[in-house]
């Protein structure tokens, strides 16, 4: 199992409506066939510690079967449309792929 | 569902045996009752991109029911024993909690 975890920091000037639109955009990724499971979240209210980064706005955790499935996810039309529509919304994106 | 994702950077001077010991140590966390699912991995061989951080050594992805379950995970004796035994093994740990 491969975990593709993505953390987005959004532009501070985005409106509430734009943030909601972004959230819906991330949720469209759930429909991608090469993704076995997709979870979308925000920073959880766990105990604040220096090692815990809770400064991001949206978390996206995608589970794929393997590297080939993650590669297919990247070029899926739904993913490409998401990136094209929302790439101007974030200031930073941090990704970790593990398996 | 809460995702507690942890990325460890180990001390470069660790031996192969110490690294294997660390891996086994991380895998003991799978036995913690308040963790619904635990995945342990290393950087996947996905396409290298500036936004993908593949510099860590070990990834730990824990799924808990909620914030209370994650708090219980933190103080579980298995988790405390892991931290006590291996806290000198890493140079950096980066955590994200999302739900």
This model of the complex carries an ipTM of 0.96
Q: What is the pTM of this model?
A: 0.97
pLDDT at position B16 is 97
pLDDT in tens, B37-87: 999 999 999 999 999 999 999 999 999 999 999 999 999 999 999 999 999
- Chain A hits for B95, CB-CB cut-off 8 Å, are 49, 51-53
CA distance A99 to chain B (A): 5
A98's tokens: 């593990």
In contact, B9 and A96? CB cutoff 8 Å: no
- Chain B hits for A53, CB-CB cut-off 8 Å, are 94-96
Least CB–CB distance from A41: residue in B61, B74, B98: B98
Burial class of residue A64 in the structure, from the number of CB atoms within 10 Å of its CB (0-12 exposed, 13-18 middle, 19+ buried): buried
Q: Give the residue from chain B lying closest to A73, CA to CA.
A: B46
Model confidence at A60, pLDDT cuts 50, 70, 90, reads very high
Helix H, strand E, coil C: the string for B8-75 is EEECCCCCHHHHHHHHHHHHHHHHCCCCCEEEEECECCCCCCCCECCCCCEEEEEEECCHHHHHHHHH
- Strands of A37-41's sheet in order across: A37-41, A58-64, A2-10, A90-98
CA distance B19 to chain A (A): 17
Packed helices A77-86 and A67-75: angle between N→C axes, nearest 10 degrees: 60
């Amino acid at each position: 199992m491969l975990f593709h975890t993505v953390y987005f920091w959004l532009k501070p000037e985005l409106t509430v409506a734009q943030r909601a639109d972004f959230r819906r955009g991330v949720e469209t990724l759930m429909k991608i066939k090469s993704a076995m499971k997709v979870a979308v979240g925000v920073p959880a209210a766990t105990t604040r510690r220096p090692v815990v980064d809770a400064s991001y706005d949206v978390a996206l955790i995608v589970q794929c079967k393997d590297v080939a499935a993650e590669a297919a996810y990247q070029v899926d039309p739904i993913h490409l449309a998401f990136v094209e529509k929302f790439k101007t919304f974030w200031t930073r994106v941090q990704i970790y792929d593990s398996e």
